[in-house]
């Protein structure tokens, strides 16, 4: 017996259109799918999964704003629709609405403590915002949920590098590589960690492997350039940066690398040009902050105090918990005649640090600069607080620079020069403090 189509309820017809939309979506016919899902919504505006389907079609068509709107409607219909929050967050990431994307991921993990993807995305966002402890916690949760997946180990290694937990980074990157031998990003992260642990051969071998796995990846070439530059292979670094820019003329990392190369070659003006170009091209907040920091150090070494201060302030906008930038802001404000205000600002910051950081080297620097740690004890702590042997000369380099600056601000040019020279004697030319000590010493010799 034939059934009159007009006798079928709108809800039933909406279901049929939804099913047709899913078939079109699965077959790759996104425009047809979009039409079917829209028809289903017209027939039954409360069909939340029809909005979900239309959003999926819109994502396939790169209409992320439209997809986010559909997910929002699905959430209005069903406020505990966890996948809608997660997927709306990914759409918001696509059009760089980072604040609301984070809110969506927070809601998604609150609704479903076992959504590994939501934790992973939130971890990446926290890493980008330099909420590093939060990022580690999220990636650790992903590993608990999916221990055989390489990505979370890889991402956690990247955060551990920023935290200067290089041994942990090597272990996590190695675990990711064991799970996925073609994981180019893990090789890149491991190369960075090995370089900081002063394993030059291992760092270069991992960088080479990353390029072998993905020779078209401009980031892999730029990363190897940075590794080579850390070991003063200027020609090799320059060639890698050039290859990276041939592959992608808009790669901020390559321009930032060329800025550092110019610095190491002693050409501050060329470095300024390269860093400014990198800043124009940077897209992620953390990348922008890092370039502002580099520009702040450069302008400080060129004795351009106000521009340097503005760059450092911009660098802290993304993450106020950047210890070393706080130290530079203090020094610049002192040189601008704002000594009392600078001291109060830095002292408040040091006192705000969590108790877990009380014995950290960075805390020692803050206490020394604010007059709460004598120079003799400060120089001793440069060695005693080192987490590993390879940190000792780095911290000694930093200690002599800050000791020199305290002497210089107090009018003791002779004592300042002696300490700047001891900073340079460490040979740690990858440290900002090393280059700043050199700039200060050259200026002193002219007076």
Mind listing the pLDDT tens digit for each residue in 217-253? 999 999 999 999 999 999 999 999 999 999 999 999 9
Res. 339: pLDDT tops 60:
yes
User: What pLDDT, on the 0 to 100 scale, is given for residue 267?
Assistant: 96
> Per-residue confidence at 423, pLDDT binned at 50, 70, 90?
very high
User: What pLDDT, on the 0 to 100 scale, is given for residue 2?
Assistant: 45
Q: What is the average pLDDT value for the chain, to the nearest integer?
A: 94
User: What pLDDT, on the 0 to 100 scale, is given for residue 286?
Assistant: 83
> Per-residue confidence at 3, pLDDT binned at 50, 70, 90?
very low
User: What is the tally of helices (H) and strands (E) in the chain?
Assistant: 25, 0
Q: State the DSSP string of 59-72.
A: HHTT-HHHHHHHHH
Per-residue pLDDT tens digits for 16-65? 999 999 999 999 999 999 999 999 999 999 999 999 999 999 999 999 99
User: What pLDDT, on the 0 to 100 scale, is given for residue 375?
Assistant: 97
Per-residue pLDDT tens digits for 278-297? 999 998 888 899 999 999 99
Report the alpha-carbon distance of residue 52 to residue 329 in Å, rounded: 49
What is the pTM (predicted TM-score) of this model? 0.83
Res. 385: pLDDT tops 90:
yes
Res. 90: pLDDT tops 80:
yes
> Per-residue confidence at 9, pLDDT binned at 50, 70, 90?
confident
Q: Residues 366, 350: contact at Cβ < 8 Å?
A: yes
Which tops the pLDDT comparison, 14 or 9? 14
Would you state the torsion angle of the CA atoms of residues 319, 325, 331, 337, taken in this order, to the nearest 10 degrees?
Answer: -30
> Per-residue confidence at 153, pLDDT binned at 50, 70, 90?
very high
Per-residue pLDDT tens digits for 317-328? 877 778 999 999
Share above pLDDT 70 across residues of the chain, in percent, rounded to a whole number: 98
Share above pLDDT 90 across residues of the chain, in percent, rounded to a whole number: 88
Arithmetic mean of pLDDT, 343-361: 91
Res. 101: pLDDT tops 70:
yes
Res. 6: pLDDT tops 70:
no
Res. 169: pLDDT tops 50:
yes
Report the alpha-carbon distance of residue 440 to residue 443 in Å, rounded: 5
Per-residue pLDDT tens digits for 52-89? 999 999 999 999 999 999 999 999 999 999 999 999 99
User: What pLDDT, on the 0 to 100 scale, is given for residue 285?
Assistant: 83
> Per-residue confidence at 447, pLDDT binned at 50, 70, 90?
confident
Report the alpha-carbon distance of residue 368 to residue 355 in Å, rounded: 17
- The CA–CA distances, whole Å, from 368 to 190, 264, 340 equal 34, 29, 15
User: What pLDDT, on the 0 to 100 scale, is given for residue 279?
Assistant: 96
Q: Which two tokens stand for residue 116?
A: 């590994």
Taken as a whole, the chain contains a residue count of 447
Per-residue pLDDT tens digits for 362-374? 999 999 999 999 9
List the one residue out of 268, 336, 322 whose CA is nearest residue 292. Answer: 322
> Per-residue confidence at 359, pLDDT binned at 50, 70, 90?
confident
């Amino acid at each position: 017996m034939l059934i009159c189509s007009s006798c079928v309820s709108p809800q039933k017809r909406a279901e049929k259109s939804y099913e047709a939309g899913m078939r079109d979506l699965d077959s790759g016919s996104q425009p047809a799918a979009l039409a079917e899902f829209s028809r289903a919504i017209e027939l039954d505006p409360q069909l939340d999964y029809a909005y979900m389907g239309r959003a999926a079609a819109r994502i396939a068509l790169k209409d992320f704003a439209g997809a986010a709107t559909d997910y929002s409607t699905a959430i209005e219909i069903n406020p505990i629709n966890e996948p809608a929050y997660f997927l709306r967050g990914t759409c918001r990431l696509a059009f760089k609405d980072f604040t609301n994307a984070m809110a969506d991921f927070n809601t998604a993990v609150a609704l479903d403590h076992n959504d590994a993807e939501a934790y992973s995305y939130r971890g990446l966002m926290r890493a980008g915002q330099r909420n590093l402890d939060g990022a580690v916690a999220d990636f650790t949760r992903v590993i608990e949920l999916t221990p055989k997946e390489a990505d979370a180990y890889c991402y956690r290694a990247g955060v551990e590098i920023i935290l200067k937990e290089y041994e942990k980074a090597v272990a996590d990157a190695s675990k990711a590589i064991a799970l996925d031998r073609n994981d180019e990003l893990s090789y890149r992260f491991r190369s960075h960690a090995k370089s900081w642990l002063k394993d030059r051969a291992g760092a270069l071998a991992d960088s080479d492997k990353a390029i072998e796995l993905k020779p078209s990846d401009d980031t892999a070439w730029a990363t190897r350039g940075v590794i080579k530059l850390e070991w003063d292979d200027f020609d090799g670094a320059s060639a890698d940066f050039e290859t990276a820019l041939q592959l992608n003329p808009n790669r901020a990392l390559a321009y930032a690398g060329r800025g550092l190369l110019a610095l190491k070659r002693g050409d501050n003006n060329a470095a300024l040009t390269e860093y400014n170009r990198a800043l124009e091209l940077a897209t992620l907040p953390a990348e922008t902050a890092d370039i502002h920091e580099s520009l702040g150090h450069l302008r400080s070494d060129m004795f351009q105090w106000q521009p340097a201060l503005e760059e450092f302030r911009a660098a802290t906008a993304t993450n106020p918990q950047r210890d070393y930038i706080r130290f530079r802001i203090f020094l610049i404000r002192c040189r601008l005649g704002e000594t009392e205000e600078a001291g109060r600002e830095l002292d408040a910051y040091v006192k705000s640090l969590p108790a877990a950081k009380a014995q950290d080297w960075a805390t020692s620097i803050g206490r020394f600069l604010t007059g709460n740690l004598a120079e003799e004890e400060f120089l001793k702590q440069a060695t005693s607080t080192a987490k590993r042997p390879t940190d000792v000369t780095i911290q000694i380099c930093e200690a002599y620079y800050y000791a020199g600056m305290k002497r210089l601000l107090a009018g003791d040019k002779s004592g300042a020069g002696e300490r700047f020279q001891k900073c340079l004697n460490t040979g740690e030319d990858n440290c900002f403090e090393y280059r700043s000590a050199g700039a200060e010493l050259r200026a002193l010799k002219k007076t």
